[in-house]
Structure 1
Amino acid sequence: MCAQQQVDTSERQILPTNVKPVHYDLSLQPDLETFVFQGQAKIDLLVVEDSKTIVLNTQDIKILSATVSSTNLKTESSQAATSITYDEKKLVASLTFAELLPANSKAILDIKYEGILNDQMAGFYRSSYKDAEGNTKYLATTQFEATDARRAFPCWDEPSLKATFDVTLIVPSHLTALSNTNVISETNVSDTLKQVKYATTPLMSTYLLAFVIGPFEYIEAFTSGEHNGRPIRSRVYTLPGLAEQGRHALNVCISALEYFAKVFGEPYPLPKLDMVAVPDFEAGAMENWGLITYRTVSLLFDEKQSSIVSKKRTAYVVCHELAHQWFGNLVTMKWWNELWLNESFATWVGWLAVDDIFPDWDVWTSFVNEDMPRALNLDALRSSHPIDVAVNDPAEIHQIFDAISYYKGASVIRMLSSWLGVETFLAGVRRYVRRHKLSNASTDDLWVALSEEAGVDVSKFMDLWTKRVGYPVLCVTQESQDAIKVVQSRYLSTGDLETAEDGTVWWAPLGMLVSGKTESYTLTEKSQTFPIPADGLFKLNAGQTSVYRVNYPIQNIRVLGEEVKKGSSGLLTNTSDRVGLIADAGNLCVSGEQKTTAFLELAQAFVNEENYFVWSQLSTHLSNILGVWYEQPEHIKDGLKALRRSLFAPVAHRLGWEFAETDDYLTNILRVLALTNAGRSNDAATVEEAKKRFHTFVAGDIDALHPNLRGPVYGIVLSNAGSVEEENAVWEKILQMYHNETLPTDQRLIALNALGGAKNEALISRYMLMSLDEKEVRGQDSIYVFGSLAANPDARLLFWQFFSQNYELLQSKFSRSPSLFGAAVRSAVGGFSSLEQLDQIEAFFSTKDTKQYARPLQQALESARVNSKWLLRSKDSVAQWVQEYANRFE
């Protein structure tokens, strides 16, 4: 039904196809003192072509011996490899044998090897923790996605080369050893060692294999079995003393496992599901089948001391990873160019599960407020990439784990599911899963299943969204009293679109909101005319379900602003519509398609707004303006802060500082947002109360500062210090909070992040040096340091100088964690709004090998140039606006 796309695979670095793995029998023995592990891999092979050489992936592994046996060999016995050679660039080993392995035969390749338990959070690695006496100890864990299974065992490390696995771990007797499947035997092999064997896995890709060895404790629960046909045992494993902080994640897991079995129409295929908190972890979590590993802060939640934001994040990350157990693990993409099939879908359906479990959180408005903007902001750059993007070299893969693969893809799925109807969409997904389970599939396979279910050719319009870069802005003009003309063109935040870049004509559901209803229209041409009501009142993209910006004439924006003021009696009663109106206006002033002063005028229409998500979107754009205007004269910045203060301070004063048990979730997070913005805008009452509560809190009264407010208060008190001495004293108190290991991880990281808000150079320098000291800041947590410095106008130039002076040191530190180095590059570069400064930065990188971080570097530089051009274009008009209107806000 759908036209199949021809994909060019000629440039991919893939293995020869002369043999194919069918089954791995792996045995590993890690030494947590020498950090060396011994391994043996017995691999059942299907010989496809006559072969004397077997090529497979290895990295940082020393092969000690390799033999192959086959009943088809003349000697009917094993033969040792006559040579073993390595290609360090392609990350492969070639094993050559004297006797030919004939085509259409079976063979067993037996490899003994050793490797290193590295400290780079990749492959089979070590992670450190403190025992009860404060001594540094180590556990062993894995992270194989995308191409790091080859660091743990020789393998065919490609997603389409699925096989089954038997795993045996030989570990210290006192430790817990986990793998993807359940334990089938455990025997002592010496006074200090035990051997643990696990059940055979289903057919799966190498990147989903996992093992974890450490001194864990656990809590467990069982699902109802309503949709899985049997109860599934679920556990949360943590270091000693932390297990009860996994209760929230465990409860979410129990609900989500049954929910997904219903949604996907397939039972969870394994007998158990373990979730493990790992102290050192590069990503947020990893969906290893049956053994999901997490960064500690993404799994653990302390009911008394963690913030409410942490509760929502934990619930979402758990649901995202559980969604992968079906979409990604049971059905896997054929190659990494279709990573979006895994990540976008897990993002969308992860929120679907959170919405089912926590309906009062209003997660789809949250999606419009947070996730869609991440996608649209990145995709508004020339340096963006299509959802379905060519990936040839392993060095390129980690660079596409970004807002396009996660959030644009999820936004496109949400658009399609809204258009088809969610039930029709999910029925098509069930057809897809049923057809391709335990196998690999492509984007086209998903479109085929959806097309069959819906009776329309889905690929016809969805290929425009997945295979083309960018998205449209719809320019609206009034044709007559009862009609509008809508013209689409690619949206670029640079505002300098060239004709050659504007060739895509997107399929865009309009969803025209009019009084009392939504009219369904679809834009399928470059320019079309559509009817509007006689009263002229309308808004496109009802509910913000579609992926585009809308550029209205200023008179329409003013009319919609008046509708906002009407509240529940106006047109924009749906929160997502108000969020979308702000998001479009805020971004179109960046590109110059609307005036920045028009956005500032629109912002004032929301003075009586009550919903958190609308305030959050306003906060984002007002903070963006202040962030870009950071080098402008003080009276201009003060005027912009006065506007922000006039909006947020009344909300902060109304909601106050106390959290009542009767307050709902959205009220609580609005209180945090309002106090944050009021304090950062120098609202005297808020600053005074923040200081009072801070000093009471650090003196030992933990009830003086609710966990939800600690981060905001740290920032307010630090930025409003009256002297260098006061700032130093406050900074030291926050540092003590970071060092306090009795606090939950999220609270310690909140303190770490707040330290980056210092104004004086000595503290900023000290903070930057902390990021180089693994004893002070774990490598995985350096992203908090980098992000905090990038957000602090007083630190940007110092951070760039620090980064450029320590470039080689930082690159070496994150050599095996390229996404962390990419984050450092993005933070060091992206905050500037001076073209002269950017020219110097580009000159610095011109002499560097940027292959490992080319994409984030390009995107950061382009984002900074966008800001620079925006400032040049708008600073005079904003200065005039402030001069004319700022006194209104006092």
Structure 2
Amino acid sequence: MSQRQVLPTNVKPVHYDLTLKPDLETFVFYGQVKVDLEVKEDTTQIVLNTHDIKIYSAVLTSTSLKTELKQTAKSIDYDAKKDQAILTFEQTMPGSTKASLDIQFEGELNDQMAGFYRSSYKDAEGKTQYLATTQFEATDARRAFPCWDEPALKATFDVTLIVPTELTALSNMNVISEKPYLNTGKMISGKHSQAKHEGATTTTTTGGKTEGKHEGVTTGKSEGKHQESSVEKKLKEVKYATTPQMSTYLLAFVIGPFEYIEAHTSGENNGHPIQTRVYALPGSVEQGRHALRVATAALEYFAQVFGEPYPLPKIDMVAIPDFEAGAMENWGLVTYRNVALLFDEKSSSIVFKKSTAYTVCHELAHQWFGNLVTMEWWEHLWLNEGFATWVGWLAVDHIFPEWNIWVSFVNEDMPRALNLDALRSSHPIEVAVNDPAEIHQIFDAISYYKGASVIRMLSSWLSVDTFLAGVRRYLQKHKFGNASTMDLWQALSDEAGVDVSKFMTLWTKNIGYPVLTVEETGDHVIKVTQSRYLSTGDLDSSEDTTVWWNPLGILTPKDIESYTLTEKSQTFNVPESGLYKLNAGQTSVYRVNYPIETVLRLADEIKKGSEGMLSNAADRVGLIADAGNLAVSGEQRTTAFLELAQAFVNEKDYFVWAQLSMHFSNIISVWAKEPETVVASLKELRRSLFAPVAHRLGWEFAPTDDYLTNLLRVLALTNAGRSNDPKTVTEAKKRFWEFVEGNNDALHPNMRGPVYGIVLVTAEDEAEEIKLWESILKIYHDESLPTDQRMIALNALGGVKSQELIMRYLKMSLDDKQVRGQDSIYVFRSLGINSDARDLFWKYFSENYDTLHAKFSKSLSLFGSAVRSVVSGFTSFEKIEEIETFFADKDTKEYARPLQQALEAAKVNAKWIERDNAVVADWAKKNAA
């Protein structure tokens, strides 16, 4: 039986007519919502969602009885624990009728980046100003207006915004009228709010206990403050067209002094050109050109592959200064962090070009997959996010084929999923969600990246064309409605003629993924055995019960053999040469543990470069990823990875180097507190591989260099410099000081972040480190720079040894004037990967827990990120025990999952170093320079 915390089903919303009047000085908004209802059964009570909303009056009117029945709620009760308002009426409203509910209310433009909230910015004179915006996913529409805030309770919406005349006001749909606002007294406003409130008794309950209160919730502002706002500025009333059927979490409004740039799609697949705009605060909108170009191409591409035109008349994309997530797919009005939307072709780092393109494509994919067809409940979140991730990359690959997107996916996105899913504390792709408070904890690498990875595996197996044909079936059948995972499997099964759910349910309902252990049995036959992969390396038989469906795709020198492993163990034929690799193109979700003889044969193929069997870079990336991760779990020695790495000395591909870099960084981080001779040997191996590439590519970015060459240049110089390559370090310091002294050409935008890191990590003493740090801090504070350049500087500040500087950095994260709340994540992550900062970071976190929790728990994902960063990097069981003791008496419900995962990640490190410390030390002695 479902334990979901949902609203009663006695009434159902059909249409909302919502009017909102926000005040950007008092941070109060007043509202009126008229909801057309279908009354399903006789009732005297209506329950709907509210959070930090004060209801003044609620009037229920029958619209289908012969004799009009109009009544005001006799009581308005609040259940704060369930985010519910209970409206009780005197007379019964009969079932199978229609009614209208008219509610007048008030709320606060909060500073929590949730619901209807305020965001700050500096005007041309440097004065702090405010704009209003929304973030409703998952369950925060209820902070903006009383509503039925569940994804399956779709309705249409009419929105009217009453705002200062000089501001731009946006919503999901196009504007149909704009006129001066005349206060006729119909709208709630501060000056008559008290009179309106006297109509009903109000109480607040907290989980069953009732406390008498005259006011249900307060906005944090005094009544006197409300009175002061009664002197009206010049206001306008902006009304928007009626939306299609949609879920409350996709509604949006943005109010501020925005400028825009505009383009139209070709109209080739949509039937007509779609008006596409990027909005940003004055002075920065030209940085939206890249996003605008991507959006116009993506809208036509998606209309083509989904077989369904974009259903709204326009799409607006808005850069918001304070925004917790990367972006939000509100239908027709997508909101973004500045850094996720704005890209300056001259001043931004190239690494942001791909991320901006992908974020735009991901959010626009949602306009169909998520908005047009919406998950039936939050346990199907992965349907939204996993699919949008996969198809977002599909669109980027279509627009930028030269970027080798699917090798990039194998290199970056799959590891995010597989690293998290290798922990016992992971969760299935499809996870039961009962309490709305739990929802934010599943917006993670499993829902997004494992979801996308299993979709890529399925689409590769069926063929992308067949898969997309099934998706078109699914969208046609469920458009403007809701659907579940099984609905998608059914559509794909109907298209492909196979029972997709039979094997895909194994992937969505079960935690983890397998490692396939290969045994060469003779006569050119291999035995492949699957078992669950755990990075702790201590799998118990009771945990190894899932038998996954695994497309093997065995790569040979001549072909790819399409086998499928469906049992615990099976045998397969391989070539006489003994040359083979499982998971051709890395399209499937598993690790492979080969015999050492096979690894050596594959290493020889790697040395042949494009002439060898492993000419597809994705296969070389996969080989490194498997070896690196099997070293972590103890299924191979760490030294086996270090020896394999040396086979890549002639490698040319950026993504292969990036995978090597990732594993070297991980090993050096875990071994950071071991004897200096060992760490020096590890860095020496990294330097021997990366320095020749860095010297070959040099520091200059030529206009003729392609995208991936530029990325490789950045990566090689970063690794060479951080491994103390003298030539690279000397050049980095020279260019840094020239740049600080005003020569912008000395340091290309692509190299600024890497150079900040190199000069800090190679500082010769604390005095030099402080001087460097202060210079980078000054760059961060320069508000004339593009956002990405400032965030690069902020992130770099955490890479220091000085305990004094680390403490300054930590204190900055608590000061909103120094670091926006949303940007504290850069501080936490930067310190979390700095082995010299871990102990002080933990000491500060534990001593200031209450302060940090009070500040960041308003944004639960931010606090979860802080917990993950401060805990997961430790490598000793003693420290882990101290951390567990600290959290033992804390209420960790809201961040239980990230805490559990961080503790387990630390245990993985501790077990790894305990297991392989001696063999790596011996290797270091033998390889000492």
Q: Normalising by structure 2, what TM-score?
A: 0.94
Given candidates 561, 567, 574, the residue that maps to 1:532 is 574
Question: 2:752 is matched with which residue: 693, 710, 721?
Answer: 710
Name which of 850, 853, 858 aligns with 2:895.
853
Q: Which residue of 1 aligns with 2:228?
A: none
Structure 1 CA distance for aligned equivalents of residues 173 and 813 of structure 2: 38
How big is the shift at 1:811?
Answer: 1.1
Measured after TM superposition, the shift of residue 815 of structure 1 is 2.7
Is 1:166 the counterpart of 2:208? The answer is: no
Report what 1:5 is aligned to. Answer: none
Matched residue of 1:89: which SS? helix
The aligned residue for residue 602 of structure 1 is: 644
Superposed CA deviations along residues 238-273 of structure 1, whole A, max 9, x for unmatched, are 000111000000000000000000010000000000
SS across alignment from 2:324: coil
Aligned to 1:126: 118
Alpha-carbon distance in 2 for matches of 1:131, 1:105 = 53
CA displacement 1:10-67 (0-9 Å, x = unmatched): x110000000000000000000000000011100000001110000000000001111
Letter in 1 for 2:32: Q
The letter for the 2-side match of 1:52 is T
Which residue does 1:16 correspond to in 2? 8
**Which of 39, 43, 50 is matched with 1:47 structurally?**
39
Alignment of 1:222-621 (within 5 A): 222-621=264-663
CA-based RMSD of the aligned residues comes to 0.8
C-alpha displacement of 1:645:
0.4
SS in 2 for 1:832: coil
Offset, 1:569: 1.6
Amino acid of the structure 2 residue aligned with 1:160? A
**Residues 26 and 39, structure 1, Cα contact 8 Å, conserved in 2:** yes
Question: Counterpart in 1 of 2:145?
Answer: 153
* Deviation of the 1:73 alpha carbon: 6.0
Q: Which residue of 2 aligns with 1:221?
A: 263
Asked whether the 8 Å contact 2:373–2:482 carries over to 1, the reply is: yes
Instruction: Give, in whole Å, the separation in 1 of the partners of 2:350 and 2:151.
Output: 37
Q: Is the 8 A contact 1:234 1:273 kept in 2?
A: yes
Map 1:736-751; keep pairs closer than 5 Å.
Answer: 736-751=778-793
1:75 positional shift? 5.8
Alpha-carbon contact 1:29-1:169 (below 8 Å) kept: yes
CA–CA separation in structure 1 for the residues paired with 2:63 and 2:423: 58
How do 1:202-213 residues align onto structure 2 when only pairs under 5 Å count? 202-213=244-255
Q: Which aligned segments of 4 or more residues in structure 1 are displaced greater than 4 angstroms?
A: 72-75
Q: Paired residue for 1:694?
A: 736
Q: Distance in 1 between matches of 2:744 and 2:29?
A: 45
State the Cα distance separating 1:395 from its structure 2 match.
1.1
Q: What's the offset of the Cα at 1:517?
A: 1.1
* Paired position in structure 2 for 1:198: 240
Q: Distance in 2 between matches of 1:72 and 1:607?
A: 79
CA distance in 1, matches of 2:831, 2:857: 22
| Preserved CA contact (<8 Å) 1:72 1:101 | no
State the alpha-carbon separation in 1 of the partners of residues 243 and 100 from structure 2: 19
Does 2:134 align with 1:142?
yes
**Distance in 2 separating the partners of 1:866 and 1:68:** 59
Give the letter aligned to residue 450 of structure 2. Answer: K
* Amino acid aligned to 2:691: A
Partner of 1:886: helix, strand, or coil?
coil
CA distance in 2, matches of 1:740, 1:154: 42
Provide the C-alpha distance between the structure 2 equivalents of 1:491 and 1:610, rounded to a whole number of angstroms: 31
Structure 2: stretches of 5+ with no match in the other structure: 183-232
Preserved contact between residue 64 and residue 113 of structure 1 (Cα < 8 Å): yes
| Aligned-partner SS, 1:485 | strand
Question: By how many angstroms is 1:111 displaced?
Answer: 0.4
One-letter amino acid of the counterpart of residue 28, structure 2: V
| Distance in structure 1 (CA, Å) of the matches to 2:64 and 2:268 | 49
Q: Structure 1, residues 414-439: CA drift from partner, whole Å, max 9, x if none? A: 00000000000000000000010000
More divergent stretch after superposition (187-196 vs 396-405) = 187-196
Structure 1: give runs of 5+ residues left out of the alignment: 1-7
Give the partner amino acid of 2:689: L
Deviation at 1:72, TM superposition (A): 5.3
Q: Deviations over 1:555-588 (max 9, x none)?
A: 1111111110111121110000000000000000
Q: What SS class does the counterpart of residue 561 from structure 1 fall into? A: helix
Q: Show CA shifts across 1:64-96 (max 9, x none).
A: 111100045686142000111000101101000
Query: Does the 8 A contact of 2:22 with 2:30 survive in 1?
Result: yes
Using the alignment, how far apart are the partners of 2:925 and 2:11 within structure 1? 74
The residue identity in structure 2 corresponding to 1:578 is: R
Supply the AA of the counterpart residue of 1:195.
E
Match of residue 112, structure 1, among 95, 104, 118: 104
- Matched residue SS, 2:801: coil
**Structure 2 residue 72 is the aligned partner of structure 1 residue 30:** no
Q: Structure 1 residue 630: deviation in Å?
A: 1.3
Question: For each residue in 1:771-800, what CA deviation from the matched residue of structure 2 results, as whole angstroms up to 9, or x when unmatched?
Answer: 000000000000000000001111011111
> Residues of 2 paired with 1:630 and 1:40: CA distance?
59
Shift of 1:816: 2.2
Cα pair 1:319 1:351 within 8 Å, conserved: yes
Q: Is the 8 A contact 1:264 1:426 kept in 2?
A: yes
Count the aligned residue pairs: 879
Name the counterpart of 1:652: 694
Counterpart AA for 2:471: V
Report the Cα distance in structure 1 between the residues aligned to 2:727 and 2:491, rounded to whole angstroms.
59
Retained in 2: the 8 A contact 1:756–1:764? yes
Q: What is the aligned counterpart of 1:89 among 41, 56, 81?
A: 81
Question: Contact (CA 8 Å) 2:417, 2:446: kept in 1 or not?
Answer: yes
Contact in 2 for aligned 1:130/1:137 (Cα 8 Å): yes
Aligned to 1:179: 171
* Alignment check: 8 A CA contact 1:66 1:112 kept: yes
Separation of aligned partners in 1, 2:479 and 2:65: 35
Task: Give the Cα separation in 1 of the matches to 2:638 and 2:450.
Answer: 26
Determine if contact 1:481/1:536 at 8 Å carries over to the other structure: no
The whole-number CA distance in structure 1 between the counterparts of 2:10 and 2:849 is: 43
> Distance in 1 between the 2:308 and 2:66 partners?
46
Matched-pair identity in %: 74
**Within-5 A mapping of 1:820-831:** 820-831=862-873
| Residue in structure 1 matched with residue 220 of structure 2 by the alignment | none
On the 8 A contact 2:173/2:243 being kept in 1, the answer is: yes
- Choose which of 907, 914, 917 in structure 2 pairs with 1:865: 907
Contact 1:640–1:886, Cα closer than 8 Å, also in 2: no
Q: Given that residues 65 and 97 in structure 2 are in contact (C-alpha distance below 8 angstroms), is that contact kept between their aligned partners in structure 1?
A: no
Question: Contact 1:83–1:95 (CA<8 Å) still a contact in 2?
Answer: yes
Deviation of 1:814 after TM superposition, in Å, equals: 1.8
Secondary structure of the 2:745 match is: helix
Confirm or deny: 8 A CA contact 1:72 1:102 kept in the other structure: no
Secondary structure at the residue paired with 1:608? coil
Partner in structure 2 of residue 68 of structure 1: 60
Q: Which amino acid aligns with 2:706?
A: D
- 1:189 matched residue in structure 2: 181
Contact 1:73 1:101 in 2 (8 A): no
Deviates more, 1:868-877 or 1:72-81: 72-81
Residue in structure 2 matching 1:756, options 798, 806, 818: 798
SS of corresponding position for 2:81: coil
